[in-house]
Each structure stands twice: as structure tokens, then as C-alpha cells.
Amino acid sequence: MDIGSQLVNFAELGNQHRIPLKDGRVLQGWIMEIREDDLLISTGFSEKQGKDDWIKFDAIDLDQLEYWDTKQQEWTKFVPALSPPNDSHR
């Protein structure tokens, strides 16, 4: 499965996402759009504090992606093989 497809599956899980970057930063928010080689994440809690960032796929630490599991009420590590796009535990 290619990176873009994995990130689409990831975006469909939970209601928030944590995206660790290879430079050490961690972005937390909502994935708004996914393109061929980057994604748009909206971070912050309001229009005044929020920020939208385009992030290249190659800047993302794909092994450390997490999403907020609303049923379990906890951050859950994204595992592509175990996280289908229509995950029934949302």
C-alpha cells in the first residue's frame, strides 16, 4: 500500500491525529486534505489560534502516527495492516 493510501486510512480514524515529523516536532489536529505527496493538517483550537500546514509525506515519521480513538478515549498508534479505512470501532 502506498503512503498516500495509508494516510487516507489514517485520516479516517479517530477525530484527531498526531503527526510526528522527522525534525522532532509533533503536529496535532485534523487532516483536511491529502494530495499526491503532501497533506494539509489544521492545528489549534480556534480560528485565531489555529494554523493550517501543508506537510510533505517524506517529512512525516510514519512509524509514530497516532489517532484519538473516541470509543477507547485514548491515543492509539496507527498500524496500517490493522487499521482498515472503514474501521468499525470508531
The secondary structure element, H or E, covering residue 6 is helix 3-11
Range of the domain at 66: 3-79
pLDDT in tens, 24-83: 999 999 999 999 999 999 997 655 677 899 999 999 999 999 999 999 999 999 998 654
**With bands split at pLDDT 50, 70 and 90, how would you rate the model's confidence at 8?**
very high
Distance separating alpha carbons of residues 22 and 59, to the nearest angstrom:
6
> What cell numbers appear for 32 in the block?
483536511
Within-domain flag for 33: yes
Task: Report the CATH number that the domain containing residue 48 is assigned in CATH.
Answer: 2.30.30
Torsion of CA 87, 4, 6, 71, to 10 degrees: -40
| Total domains, the chain | 1
pLDDT at 45: 67
Res 59: pLDDT: 98
